[in-house]
A and B are shown apart, each in its own frame.
Chain A
Amino acid sequence: MQGRLALSDGTVFLGQSFGSEVTTSGEVVFNTGMVGYPESLTDPSYFGQILSLTYPLQGNYGVPKRQFWESKKIQVKGLIVQNYIENPSHFESKKTLGEWLKQEKIPALQGIDTRALTAKLREHGVMLGRIELESSSKNKELSIYDPNSENMLPYVSCDKVEVYGDGRKNIVLIDCGVKENIVRSLVKRGVKVTKVPWDFNPITSGIEFDGVFISNGPGDPKQAKETVGNVRKILKKNIPIFGICLGSQILSLAAGGNTYKLKYGHRGQNQPVLDQTRKIAIQTAQNHGFAVDMKSLGRDWSEWFINLNDGTNEGIKHQTKPFMAVQFHPEANPGPFDGGYLFDEFIKCLK
């Protein structure tokens, strides 16, 4: 079936449907990773977004079973690719990408000039857009959903406290839409993880904990007011904190800093960052449109990581206290594992 991707600036791309035949709308974003569509599709950071993958062949290795996903369902609102591969090949494949999208009622288009789309999104910043299908042309709703207009954390966070692992140290993980590999990465290192909802205040909860982890998640950090407030309280207690992606932005806001929207967001698995303390550079996976404004933070914060491409902030660290955060994804999935050592560094900080 024919379908189209209509962008808010009026641009239309024609393609063919290979997912669920429903109309959808959302913020259109891209990712340049060459592998990892099951991980990306289930990454809650993409909640509310239509994801376009720049690598032109997708679906190559099918879809693995649930335990390899980053959350329990597909989080994107739609998927855009150049060429969909309907005959996947992989020993872990349980179904095709198309079957999975259909099961989860997510529309997807192929045959789209994803390179032209990427260039457009890059220049305009992210744009809103709609996926429309031939059959759905009758019930045309003209509104486009804008995920930035609201706080999305309630949609992607857990609704109750969940505990993983059984280590001696307990880490409270504030779930702003956490990727499951963050939990796996911590548990693997022998700590207990207590996952709490985005607006949960661990200090008043009575839970005993040794450190706090603020997860990745979707949207503008300034929408996550409750979380920022809670983190501010934790900071006052000098409890070790580590943030990833949105978590880094939330930590900065809580520390009195500011965040801003990047002209060109970082969306791929090949983002080079420099660890300023170790003087070593690593490749990282990234998926963010907002960044921490280093100048807005106080002198007691140092710039831990910077992006080697555009010099933007990629991580912050308190000069004296165990507060730290990175803008990239050391948990990988998808992407390189180079930043894995950061989990060890954090765990070392736990008293």
Chain B
Amino acid sequence: MKKILILGSGALKIGEAGEFDYSGSQALKALKEESVEAVLINPNIATIQTSKSLANKIYFLPVTPYFVTKVIEKEKPDGIFLSFGGQTALNCGLALDKKDIFKKYGVKVLGTPIRSIEVTEDRELFAKALSKIAVKVPKGGFAKTVKEAEEIAENLGFPLLVRSGFSLGGLGSGVVSNKEDLVKMVSITLKHVPQITVEEYLKHWKEIEYEVVRDNNGNKITVCNMENLDPMGVHTGESIVVAPSQTLNNYQYHFLRRLSLQVIEHLGILGECNIQFALNPRNNDYRVIEVNARLSRSSALASKATGYPLAYIAAKIALGYNLPNLKNRITLSTSAFFEPALDYIVVKIPRWDLQKFVGAYEAIGSEMKSVGEVMAIGRSFPEALQKAIRMLEIGQDGLSNGVDSSTLLPTSQRLFSIAKEFSKGEGVEKIYQETGIDPWFLHQIKEMAEFEDSLQPSAFSPLRQSFSEASNQTIAKAKKLGFSDRVIAKAFNTTEEQVRKFRKKHGIIPKVKHIDTLAAEFPAKTNYLYLTYHGEESEANIKSLKSPKLLKDQAIVLGSGPYSIGSSVEFDWCCVTAAQTLRQRGLETIIINCNPETVSTDYDLADKLYFEELTFERVSDIYDIEKGSLVLGFGGQVPNNLALKCYKAGYKIIGTSPISIDRAEDRHKFSKILDKLNIEQPAWMSLKSLGDALEFARKIGYPVLIRPSYVLSGSAMNVAYSSSELKKYLKQAADILSEHPVVISKFVEGAKEIEIDGVGVNGNLLIYAISEHVENAGVHSGDATLVLPPQKLYLETVRQIKEATKKILRELKICGPFNIQFIAKDNEIKVIELNLRASRSFPFVSKVTGYNLVEMATKVMLGEDIQGDFKTIDLDYVAVKAPQFSFNRIKGADPRLRVEMSSTGEVACFGDDLEEGYLKALLATGFKMPKKSVFLGLGGEKNKLDFLESAKLLFGLGFKIYATEHTHQFLKQHRISSIRVYKISEKKHPSVLDLLKAGHIDLAINISVGGSSKGETDGFVIRRHCIDLGIPLITNLQAAELLVSSLSSKKIADLQIKSWDEYVIP
């Protein structure tokens, strides 16, 4: 094997997220060690795997059979890796195999053979295969039609579980308890997949997973087992998960382990796979739920939970190695053929962002909705659980402030509702009956809730005492149970600072423990660390880990925490790049992060890794141990928010001063700076009452942008087009208005949005890159399509932007990364936001311009002198960054683009011109090229007129155009023939819905008028159906225009197959 092609997973989406950057990066690392030439296809420009150092050649192209075939034709690889890029890569591989592409070009599929993958992906084949070795799978059957599903249901009775094969994250799965729901779900799901299963619903059975590795000789191990706190029915990606299993005894643990080995032997897995079981809590009955014959989210979690690098080992096995010949990467002396022994407990909690979606259903279940996750390590369940809660960055300080809820059905808030129930005196048995969560967990949650209640200020509480009298034991116990200083401070009516002081005085400080894969049985030089209050001493060799030549300085890089909407793999790329740069400069580099889906939490990336919270308390604990300098500028908003606090605590921070960061973050201070510098900004005001808000809005004129300063679920950013809308939005936040003012600013319609990313050196501009948004202002910058270099900006605008940027840099003495967002209209610019940190677009602009802005920023922050003239505007190519949405996962959500971000990931592709880059990027997000017919729904006169030229083009291209009444009339006036269809509200047929359902529409362009509520119900139903039926949908006018011009200028065959280095010469 000289050259190997590896498929990435593309953009982050719900069900397929950062974990595949981790697995792909590890696979590339393994290839590099073997000096095998690696060719990577992955359009996700924000990943670490698409950095220069890992693969020999990178194609920012869609991971689809067409493009992969083209790359194979061009590169002629000897082998291909399909199991490191999630379901996207696997599905693509299966499709290529069906077309005999691998055979045709002599490409060997490495790792698990295609035949085995097919068996694991097709539930029918899977059930057959397992029955051959007498291993049980859920009872049920397979249906290709609704009628078949109904027949199975008749035999089994309700409730039933509907599942689809060939899915990522259980899409189109769910529990149905009657025939009506069954029919509804099955008909939707069968649109996406050819076949579904209808099976027994194993209510309240435990869900257990094993991560299994098998080598070319048939040697097998289970690296980790995991237990879902939420029983069957809640997708493992939606479930709180612990590792190792807690409620299984020796027999069950090893019985399921043996079954795992038996099953993967029978299936012929080569490398890594995940196997899921249901286990009856009342006896030892079990079912095998599924096998994932690839690296998965669970395997990423297992890798981080154990320290066993599953993806790396899987890659080595695919290259022909066997486990007994490989070494344990942590001990470097013992064998890789071993099963890690944990001496700690790991708790994973998913992170949801359902409040970011309009109309999203709250319930969670057998489909994935979470956008990220955190992993906490502790030596008791309460300790790890509360750590994990804080890691989520959702404003929860722990179990406390429980949510009062009448229902204990699974939702993103269930954990807190349970705590509240216990605090109200409910018993374990009752909660168990309702939730099916094993009493083992419930008893401990109860203990925590009760302990916290005993801390609450109450005259009757025996533990109640003034803080100064508070016994060591009470505080020590609170810390062992995972309570934060903040919660303790609140209970004793004091400050976090005082609690910290008290603790330190009494020696109540967390101890450093190592993750060494073998529970200290053998000595291991590991740098993988966590903190715990269940320990008497920190590991002795902690300081001696430093190699002597690195003894000079230490830098602590704070990671970005859980992936969420708005903070994702791009910040991991920034942190990893910064850490690598710091290390190259000879600093001892320490990373703190808590997200198991990241590359930054690979323990070999930094000199030390603390898998820990990014709270002020924990960062302080680590700072006390390590000292050194904090690096806060690369992990996004989470570390940025700590800047001022850390500065006030006297910690050393490199880069732009936190005082400046505060001046940029504080709206009032920043506004004054802009006024002083004579830089325009949209009129704004911070207001505390509805009356004042209405008055101010009237003065500046609608539409206005509303930004609550305190983000409650549901009260996110919004644009109000009228006083009634403003009232409506503010009412949602009415209770908090007096305490947390709302910011109202002028919303400029029809303005272009422009971002500048760059690096400052002591107030001077070192390098910058200007990207322009395709969509006009009003679409969140994270949801916008970015173009670099800008194609439609006036030179004058660019000059003004540079000028304003330089002024701001000078004023705030910026030294490090920054990002400024502007709006421009009629050659006038206004600043809308400044971030004194690396932004979401840093990896994009770095990889497109060929200048690594993070590397440069890091060097500058260390005081290095960099000079040069950096060409970032006049480029010979165009790169387009496009958002990836996961609306299909979020049932009920309106997919219309708004000021609040809702995309879950991004891709970026190169082209010789804007159209080529855009088409490639769009295809990389799963867009299907329309072939015959387009539906047009253009709201309002302006949208119709603006789109007219595009409509002509579409018509000229020979598309059949469907339109509703007004659009149809308008087109007719302009001699564009279209077929009139009825709106849903007209209750006549054929309606838009009929056509969508019948599959007559390849593309829907639905542009609604800002603020229009009339007819929006119709618009929503159309948009939602497009999502549910998998029909490409465009909701933004500028994006629609660009799409049409791209379609008219390019055919798919015109899209060039060029690697990154054929565009960008670094």
* Interface, chain A (partner B; CB < 8 A): 13-14, 30, 32-36, 38-39, 54-57, 60-61, 64, 68, 82-83, 85, 87-92, 111, 113-116, 118-119, 122-123, 264, 266-272, 274, 279-281, 283, 308-310, 332-338
Contacts and interface: CB of A to CB of B under 8 A. Distances in A.
Contact of B341 (A13, A83, A91, A270): A270
Given A122-B521, A280-B218, A56 B345 contact: yes
B246 interface: yes
B132 to A, nearest CB: 21
B248 to A, nearest CB: 7
A35 B518 CA distance: 14
Given A34-B253, A119-B539, 7 more contacts: A32-B341, A57-B246, A88-B440, A91-B283, A280-B217, A309-B522, A332-B254
A54 B535 CA distance: 12
B413 interface: no
A88 B441 CA distance: 10
Contact of A272 (B247, B282, B337, B511): B337
Contacts of B339: 269-270, 283, 336
A35 B249 contact: yes
A90 B82 CA distance: 41
Given A57-B345, A115-B519, A119-B540, A83 B340 contact: no
B343 A39 contact: no
Interface in B209-267: 217-219, 221, 244-251, 253-254, 257-258, 261
A279 B522 contact: no
A270 B535 CA distance: 24
B548 interface: no
B337 A118 contact: no
Contact of B247 (A54, A90, A271): A90
Contacts of B439: 87, 89
A336 B323 CA distance: 18
Interface residues of B, number: 57
Interface string B507-533: 000010100001111110000000000
B637 to A, nearest CB: 34
Contacts of B247: 60-61, 89-90
B250 A32 contact: no
B257 A336 contact: yes
Contacts of B217: 279-281
Interface in B323-346: 323-324, 333-335, 337-345
A30 B258 CA distance: 25
A285 B218 CA distance: 20
B438 interface: yes
B593 to A, nearest CB: 23
15 contacts: A30-B521, A35-B249, A56-B380, A61-B247, A64-B249, A87-B444, A92-B249, A116-B535, A118-B343, A272-B324, A281-B219, A308-B334, A309-B338, A310-B522, A335-B254
Contacts of B444: 85, 87
B663 interface: no
A266 B868 CA distance: 60
B22 interface: no
Contact of A91 (B281, B511, B537): B281
Contacts of B438: 89
B208 to A, nearest CB: 12
B447 to A, nearest CB: 8
Contacts of B891: none
B248 A35 contact: yes
A338 B335 CA distance: 17
Given A90-B247, A336-B254, A280 B219 contact: yes
Contacts of B519: 32, 54-55, 115, 118, 268
Contact of A87 (B251, B379, B443): B443
B520 A118 contact: yes
B341 A33 contact: yes
A89 B443 contact: yes
A202 B564 CA distance: 71
Given A89-B443, A280-B217, A336-B257, A57 B518 contact: no
A61 B513 CA distance: 26
B534 interface: yes
Given A83-B379, A283-B338, A308-B337, A113 B520 contact: no
A324 to B, nearest CB: 21
B536 interface: yes
B150 to A, nearest CB: 36
Contacts of A33: 250, 341
B947 interface: no
B250 A36 contact: yes
B537 A113 contact: yes
A54 B341 CA distance: 9
B282 A115 contact: no
B520 A122 contact: yes
Given A83-B380, A281-B219, A270 B249 contact: no
A57 B539 CA distance: 20
Q: Closest 8 A-B residue pairs measured CB to CB?
A: A36-B250, A308-B335, A87-B443, A89-B440, A32-B341, A32-B519, A54-B519, A113-B536
Most chain A beta-carbon contacts within 10 A, residue among B261, B341, B380, B443: B341
A287 B257 CA distance: 20
B381 interface: yes
Most chain B beta-carbon contacts within 10 A, residue among A61, A89, A335: A89
Given A91-B282, A114-B343, A333-B250, A83 B338 contact: no
A334 B251 CA distance: 8
A82 B379 contact: yes
A56 B219 contact: no
B534 A56 contact: yes
A270 B338 contact: yes
Given A122-B521, A309-B338, A83 B254 contact: no
A159 B937 CA distance: 91
A64 B250 CA distance: 11
Most chain A beta-carbon contacts within 10 A, residue among B217, B248, B254: B254
Contact of A115 (B334, B338, B520): B520
A264 B521 contact: yes
Given A90-B249, A309-B522, A272 B379 contact: no
Nearest to B261: A338
Contacts of B261: 338
B540 A270 contact: no
A274 B324 contact: yes
A12 to B, nearest CB: 10
Interface string B535-579: 111011000000000000000000000000000000000000000
B158 to A, nearest CB: 26
Contact of A308 (B283, B324, B345, B520): B324
A106 B250 CA distance: 22
Interface string B351-387: 0000000000000000000000000000111000000
Contacts of B380: 56-57, 82-83
Contacts of B219: 280-281
B440 A116 contact: no
B742 to A, nearest CB: 46
A192 to B, nearest CB: 25
B537 A264 contact: no
B341 A272 contact: no
A60 B537 CA distance: 25
B534 A83 contact: yes
A54 B246 contact: no
Nearest to B521: A32
A88 B257 CA distance: 22
Contact of B440 (A87, A335, A336): A87
A56 B337 CA distance: 24
A309 B249 contact: no
Contacts of A266: 521
Contacts of A280: 217-219
Nearest to B441: A89
Contacts of A60: 246-247, 440
A279 B324 CA distance: 10
A57 B522 contact: no
